[in-house]
Amino acid sequence: MKDFFKFMFATVAGIVVSCVLFFFIGILWLFSMLSSSESETLLQDNSVMMLDLRGDLAERSLDSSLEFLMGDTYTVYGLDDILSSIQKAKESDQIKGIYLQADLLTAGFASLKEIRDALLDFKESGKFVVAYADTYTQGLYYLASAADKILLNPHGMLEWRGLASAPIFFKEMLDKIGVEMQVFKVGTYKSAVEPYIATEMSDANREQVNAFLTSIWGEITQDVAASRNLTTEALNAAADQMMLFRPAEESVQCGLVDTLMYKNDVRNYLKGLAGIDEDDDLPVVGLKEMINVKKNRPKDKSGNIIAVYYAEGEIVNDAIASPLSGTETVINGTEVIKDLRKLKEDEDVKAVVLRVNSPGGSAYASEQIWYAISELRKEKPVIVSMGDYAASGGYYISCNADTIVAEPTTLTGSIGIFGLVPNVKGLTDKLGLDFDVVKTNEYADFGMMGRPLNAGEKAMMQMNVNQGYDLFLTRCAEGRGIEKEELDQIAQGRVWTGSKAKELGLVDELGGIDRALEIAIAKAGIDAYTVMSYPEKPGLFDSFTNFRPDNYIRSLLLKSCVGEWYKPISNLKELNQCSRIQARLPFELNIE
């Protein structure tokens, strides 16, 4: 009888689990069908495209079904979608202008410049661009400065204060818990290790941070000055006044804003620009609708493909070292190598634009990707387009391309590597833990908990890092056609902006992904082609199976508790998962 009930309960439990599983599969299937059945958007006459920016900017957007499942707490805009939509709006006779509603967008200045340049190009068609915000963040004001008219709430605020970098240092905290970071590095400017071994910036790091902040701010003020018919001196004077806390009228007086207006009146203002009577409806087309607008181009039948391959995020050996949030992207070395091999073997692919947006990561994975790109180049042109970051490992995988294109505000270079090995003996002593060992050879217990590295082990670690740096330097020297000794002078782990990198020969041209595509098409020597993006965006089922709800919930809680310190603290947690030899930027540059 006991066995009977045991089997009965097991059967019932199995049925319940199966029902729940099939229920979720059914829900996923339904969302997948809804997502794939989105119909083409048909534009009405006198429409206005609306860019309502309120979330995070990535190179590519999430699957719409997954975004629906995650709710409004996590909105990701794809830079590719925004640029494509602006281009379609320019080509459409039905679209009369673009309305930029600048709420809050987490994005780097290089990405913002790409959107800004697209808006300036849109204006060449004679159509209008209008921006409005209750409060402009500094980044979104930079974007909005491309508009014909900038509107601000009469009681709104405008952030214009200059740039700053404020890294967080963990050394004293680690000292208190008894953890020492044993550091091995090459590069005077390789500052990624400083948060773990110091309490303030080194002189070298302070020098490089000051240099690239000055360069980025110079680019921003020049762009804004040109669009607003102001001088850079006037813009710097306004920044020194801390405009955020000044009355909105002062933003108009100093030329940063054109008109003060309540949000409720913006629609009628746009109607006037679009030639619509106040009593009539204003057709507004959002970004999601614009994505489904058919391109105003004849379908290419040549079969030629220009591939755009997106490499975004930290470089890791495999997906095991996934980010804390469970939704952020990584450059998975194993998968990237497979994808690049397929592009090499695909005879229809005539050229590849490698879009790199990465602060670096695993030195080993970077070398493997570098080799895959070298093999790809034997068959077809490879053009690199750099996003906000393409530094350290991000530069490693870019250095042997036929042509490298970067934005002036891209952070790149940082040619150097480091290794970190935590020594937790102080912590284990505090906890009262004792260790003993039996070993057959001198270094059999290398890396074991409870003791620091000995002199021999430290020497070997540093030798390994030196060899890695020499290899990195060799790859870059060969790829860029610069003598190794000469390159070493501008390497040393130093971070450069795209504009300075061009002067130094680390970058060939300044521009965005559109310029990289032009170069790729020219090098391919073709007239007819189709631009296709790789790797294929994960579908709903792939996204769902890879999505880690525990990590996602944990990241939301951490973000709510620590705010702006989320990134450095989460990276501290991930340190234990990282490859010990790294080629990457400081964990968080905190440019604001």
Helices (H), 72-228: 79-91, 109-123, 138-144, 171-177, 194-197, 203-228
pLDDT of 545 higher than 70: no
pLDDT of 333 higher than 50: yes
Question: Domain limits of the chain?
Answer: 47-161+242-291, 171-198+300-584
pLDDT at 279: 85
Q: 283, exposed or middle or buried, with CB in 10 Å at 0-12, 13-18, 19+? A: middle
pLDDT at 539: 58
pLDDT at 43: 82
User: Could you count the other beta carbons within 10 Å of the beta carbon of residue 289?
Assistant: 18
Structure-block tokens of residue 56: 């995070």
- Taking each helix axis from N to C terminus, what angle separates 203-228 and 232-240, rounded to the nearest 10 degrees? 120
pLDDT at 560: 52
pLDDT of 108 higher than 70: yes
pLDDT of 509 higher than 50: yes
Pick among 3.90.226.10, 3.40.190.10, 3.40.50.300, 3.30.1330.50: CATH of 171-198+300-584? 3.90.226.10
Q: Which of 392, 414, 499, 543 is catalytic?
A: 392
CA dihedral sign, ordered 109, 113, 119, 120? positive
pLDDT at 85: 94
Q: Which of 90, 123, 185, 190 is catalytic?
A: 190
Tell me: the pLDDT tens digits for 151-186?
999 999 999 999 999 888 999 999 999 999 998 888
Nearest to 358 by CA among 320, 319, 324, 385: 385
Q: Are 390 and 357 in contact (CB under 8 A)?
A: yes
pTM over 0.75? The answer is yes
The whole-number average pLDDT for the span 479-503 is 95
pLDDT of 528 higher than 70: yes
The whole-number average pLDDT for the span 500-505 is 96
The whole-number average pLDDT for the span 564-580 is 54
User: Could you count the other beta carbons within 10 Å of the beta carbon of residue 251?
Assistant: 24
Return d(Cα 212, Cα 218) in angstroms, integer. Answer: 10
Q: Which CATH code for domain 47-161+242-291? A: 3.90.226.10
Is 543 one of the catalytic residues?
Answer: no
Q: 34 falls in which pLDDT band (50, 70, 90)?
A: very low
In which residue are the tokens 């930029």 written? 100
Nearest to 384 by CA among 483, 333, 310, 328: 310
The whole-number average pLDDT for the span 102-131 is 95
pLDDT of 321 higher than 50: no
Is 190 one of the catalytic residues?
Answer: yes
Tell me: the pLDDT tens digits for 380-430?
999 999 999 999 999 999 999 999 999 999 999 999 988 888 898 898 888
**pLDDT averaged over the chain?**
85
Contacts of 540 (CB under 8 A, 6+ apart): 28, 31, 32, 35, 63, 65, 66
pLDDT at 27: 52
Tell me: the pLDDT tens digits for 339-387?
999 999 999 999 999 999 999 988 899 999 999 999 999 999 999 999 9
